[in-house]
C-alpha cells in the first residue's frame, strides 16, 4: 500500500514535471533548453555495470575508441552523396511560409537510394545552422564512428565545417536519416530525409516502389514527402505497389489502406516471412518506425493510404472513384501473430549472457532520467535480453542504435507469426515486450524513446560495450547535445 502510494506520488510528480517543462518550453519558444550538464563522458563505465542481472564486471581485452571503429576498406561499389544543412525560408504548397532547417534546400532532404552491399559515402556540410548538426542513419547497422550522435560518436559539425560518413549498407530496407544534435528540435525543424537500401534479391515482387515520409514540421505542418494536403502517386490497375511508410513525427500514426487488401511486408526495413493479406486493419506506425506495405491496384483504379485522423497524412495512388474507407473501430494490426514462423534459434528460453529490465514511465526509465540512467553494459559476443515494461504515459517507440533486435514476446507470450527483427519497439501503457540482440557491433550506442520530445526531457540511455571509449564529450562545454 505504501509502495503503491509512493509510486502514484512519483508518477504525479513526473506528470507535474512534464507539464512544467512543456509550459516553459511553449512560453520561451524554441530557444529553450533544459539545464544541460557541462561535460559528460558517455563512454565512462565507472559505477554503471552493476545493474546487470548477471555477467558483467571484467573489462574487455581489446579496449578501443568508438572513433576508431570505421568501415573497413572493401571492393563494395561506392555511392556518393553530398548534403548541405542550411537555414531556409520555405513556402509550403499551401502558401504558408516557414523558416525550416533543410538538407539541400528541402525538407525532407533528398531521398538517397542505394543497393544492398553498396559503400555509402555522404559528405555533410553545415552552411549556417548555428547549433551544429550531425546525421544519424536511423536503423542502419554501421560502425560506431559513423552513427552521427553528437558528443558520443563525433563532434557536432559547426557552420562552415564538413564531415564525411562512410558505411556499407549491409541490410536492405527502408531507413531514414536525421540530425542527432539537439535531435528533438532539429528533426522538428526539418533536418531529416529518407535512405532506401534496395535489395539485391527480394522475396517480394512489385512494379512500383515508393517511399513516403510522414512529417510534422515544427509540430504543426503536416507534410507527406514535403507536401501539404496529401500526396498523389502514379499506379495503374493491376500493378503491384511497395509503399514504404516512414513516420518521422513523434506520435504513432494509425494508417489505413482503402481500396485494396494489403500485406505488411517489412517492419523497420526487415522483411517479414509469409505475410498474409489484411483488409481494413489499422497499422500503427510509431515515431521513427517504418512499415512497408504491398498491394495490387484494383480494377477500379484508386487506393488511398491515410491516417486515422482525417486531417493528417494521405496518399492516393492511381485514378478512379474514391475507395470506401474502413471503419474507425476496425481492428488493429497485430504483428505478434502475423505471417509464418521461421526458426532462427533465438527464443526467450535460450541462454542469455545478460538480461536487463527497463521500466518505462512518462519520461523516465527505471525512475531515472538522461545521464542518471545506468548504461546497459555488454561485451562483444554476448547475447542480451532486454525486457521493456510500460507503466505510464504515452506510447514509447524505444529505438536502439547500431543493432537489430529480435522481438521475443509480448506480455510474456512468445510471438507466433513471422520473426520480427527491428530497431524499435513501440509500447503502449501496460505493454511488456522482450527483445534479444547479439552484441556484435562494439561501440557506444544510444537507446532512447523516438518520441523525440520524450528523449529531450531524459528518456535516453546508452548500450555500451565494455572497453570501448570515446574522445568526444556531451555537454554545454563542447556544445554537443544529442538529446
Ligand atoms: Cu516516449
Three-state secondary structure readout of 135-157: CEEECCCCCHHHCCCECCCECCE
- 119 belongs to a structural domain: yes
Q: Are residues 214 and 321 in the same domain?
A: yes
What pLDDT is stored for residue 417 in this prediction?
98
Q: Separation of 401 CA from ligand 1 center, angstroms?
A: 16
Residues 51 and 158 in one domain: no
Q: Does a structural domain hold residue 429? A: yes
166 & 285 share domain: no
Q: Over 372-426, what HEC string results?
A: HCCCEEECCCCEEEEEEEECCCCCEEEEECCCCEEEEEECCEECCCCCCEECEEE
Same domain (yes/no): 350, 481: yes
Residues 129 and 224 in one domain: no
Q: Among 165, 198, 231, give the residue marking a domain's end.
A: 198
- The pLDDT score that the predictor gives to residue 421 is 98
Same domain, 329 and 396: no
Do residues 221 and 265 share a domain?
yes
pLDDT recorded at residue 309: 82
The answer on 186 and 292 residing in a single domain is no
Together in a domain, 372 and 293: no
> 164 and 77, same structural domain?
yes
CATH number for 227:
2.60.40.420
Q: How far is the CA of 228 from the centre of ligand 1 (A)?
A: 26
Mean pLDDT by 10 residues, the chain (483 residues): 41 49 38 67 65 40 83 97 98 96 98 98 98 98 98 98 98 98 95 98 95 96 95 98 97 96 98 97 97 98 91 92 89 97 95 97 94 94 98 95 98 98 98 98 97 92 96 95 92
Alpha carbon of 253 to ligand 1 centroid (Å): 14
Alpha carbon of 115 to ligand 1 centroid (Å): 32
Does 386 fall in a domain? yes
- Domain boundary residue, one of 175, 198, 221: 198
Contact 392, 362 (CB under 8 A): yes
Distance 95 CA to ligand 1 centre (A): 33
Give the per-residue pLDDT at 82. Answer: 98
* Domain region containing 25: 1-56+341-483
C-alpha 303 to ligand 1 mean position (Å): 32
| Residue 396 sits in the same domain as residue 265 | no
CA 476 / ligand 1 centre spacing (Å): 24
Number of domains in the chain: 3
* 203 belongs to a structural domain: no
Q: Measure 446 CA to ligand 1 centroid, in angstroms.
A: 14
* Final residue of a structural domain among 170, 198, 226: 198
DSSP string, 73-121: P--PPEEEEEEEEEEEEEE-TTS-EEEEEEETTBSS-PPEEEETT-EEE
Q: Are residues 237 and 107 both part of a single domain?
A: no
Beta-bridge mates of residue 398: 425, 449
Residue 62: the pLDDT is: 54
Beta bridge partners of 303: 317
Q: Pairing state of beta strands 173-178 and 192-198? A: antiparallel
- Rounded to two decimals, what is the model's pTM? 0.90
- d(CA 229, ligand 1 centre) in Å: 28
Alpha carbons 281 and 236: distance in angstroms, whole number: 24
Report the C-alpha gap between 478 and 109 in whole angstroms. 27
Q: Does 62 reside within a domain?
A: no
Measured CA to CA, the distance from residue 261 to residue 281 in angstroms comes to 9
Cell of 333: 494490426
- Report yes or no on 17 lying in a domain: yes
What is the reported pLDDT for 172?
Answer: 98
Amino acid at each position: 500500500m505504501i509502495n503503491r502510494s509512493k509510486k502514484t506520488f512519483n508518477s504525479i510528480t513526473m506528470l507535474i514535471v512534464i507539464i512544467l517543462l512543456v509550459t516553459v518550453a511553449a512560453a520561451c519558444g524554441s530557444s529553450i533548453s533544459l539545464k544541460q550538464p557541462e561535460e559528460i563522458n558517455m563512454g565512462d563505465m565507472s559505477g554503471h555495470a552493476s545493474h546487470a542481472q548477471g555477467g558483467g564486471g571484467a573489462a574487455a581485452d581489446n579496449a578501443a575508441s568508438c572513433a576508431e571503429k570505421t568501415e573497413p576498406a572493401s571492393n563494395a561499389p561506392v555511392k556518393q552523396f553530398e548534403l548541405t544543412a542550411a537555414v531556409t525560408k520555405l513556402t509550403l504548397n499551401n502558401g504558408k511560409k516557414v523558416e525550416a532547417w533543410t538538407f539541400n534546400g528541402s525538407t525532407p532532404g533528398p531521398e538517397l537510394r542505394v543497393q544492398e552491399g553498396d559503400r555509402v559515402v555522404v559528405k555533410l556540410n553545415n552552411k549556417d545552422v548555428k547549433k551544429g548538426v550531425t546525421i544519424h542513419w536511423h536503423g542502419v547497422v554501421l560502425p560506431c564512428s559513423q552513427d552521427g550522435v553528437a558528443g558520443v560518436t563525433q563532434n557536432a559539425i559547426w557552420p562552415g565545417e564538413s564531415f564525411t560518413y562512410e558505411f556499407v549498407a549491409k541490410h536492405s530496407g527502408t531507413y531514414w536519416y536525421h540530425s542527432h544534435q539537439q535531435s528533438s528540435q532539429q528533426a522538428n525543424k526539418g533536418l531529416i530525409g529518407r535512405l532506401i537500401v534496395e535489395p539485391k534479391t527480394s522475396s517480394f515482387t512489385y512494379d512500383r516502389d515508393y517511399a513516403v515520409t510522414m512529417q510534422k514540421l515544427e509540430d504543426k505542418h503536416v507534410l507527406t514527402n514535403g507536401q501539404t494536403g496529401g500526396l498523389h502517386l502514379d499506379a495503374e490497375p493491376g500493378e503491384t505497389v511497395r509503399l514504404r511508410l516512414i513516420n518521422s513525427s513523434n506520435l504513432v500514426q494509425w494508417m489505413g489502406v482503402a481500396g485494396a487488401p494489403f500485406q505488411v511486408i517489412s517492419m523497420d526495413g526487415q522483411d517479414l516471412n509469409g505475410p498474409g493479406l489484411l483488409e481494413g486493419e489499422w497499422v500503427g506506425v510509431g515515431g521513427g518506425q517504418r512499415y512497408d506495405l504491398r498491394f495490387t491496384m484494383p480494377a477500379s483504379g484508386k487506393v488511398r493510404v491515410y491516417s486515422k485522423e482525417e486531417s493528417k497524412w494521405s496518399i492516393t495512388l492511381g485514378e478512379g472513384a474514391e475507395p470506401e474507407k474502413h471503419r474507425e473501430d476496425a481492428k488493429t494490426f497485430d504483428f505478434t501473430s502475423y505471417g509464418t514462423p521461421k526458426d532462427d534459434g533465438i527464443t526467450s528460453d535460450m541462454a542469455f549472457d545478460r538480461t536487463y529490465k527497463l521500466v518505462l514511465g512518462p519520461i523516465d526509465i527505471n525512475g531515472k532520467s538522461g545521464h542518471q540512467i545506468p548504461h546497459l553494459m555488454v561485451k562483444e559476443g554476448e547475447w542480451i535480453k532486454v525486457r521493456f515494461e510500460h507503466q505510464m504515459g504515452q506510447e514509447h517507440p524505444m529505438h536502439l542504435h547500431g543493432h537489430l533486435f529480435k522481438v521475443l514476446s509480448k506480455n510474456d507470450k512468445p510471438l507466433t507469426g513471422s520473426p520480427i527483427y527491428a530497431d524499435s519497439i513501440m509500447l503502449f501503457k501496460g505493454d511488456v515486450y522482450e527483445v534479444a540482440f547479439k552484441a556484435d557491433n562494439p561501440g557506444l550506442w544510444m537507446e532512447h524513446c523516438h518520441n523525440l520530445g520524450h528523449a529531450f526531457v531524459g528518456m535516453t540511455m546508452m548500450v555500451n560495450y565494455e572497453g570501448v571509449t570515446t574522445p568526444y564529450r556531451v555537454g554545454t562545454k563542447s556544445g554537443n547535445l544529442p538529446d
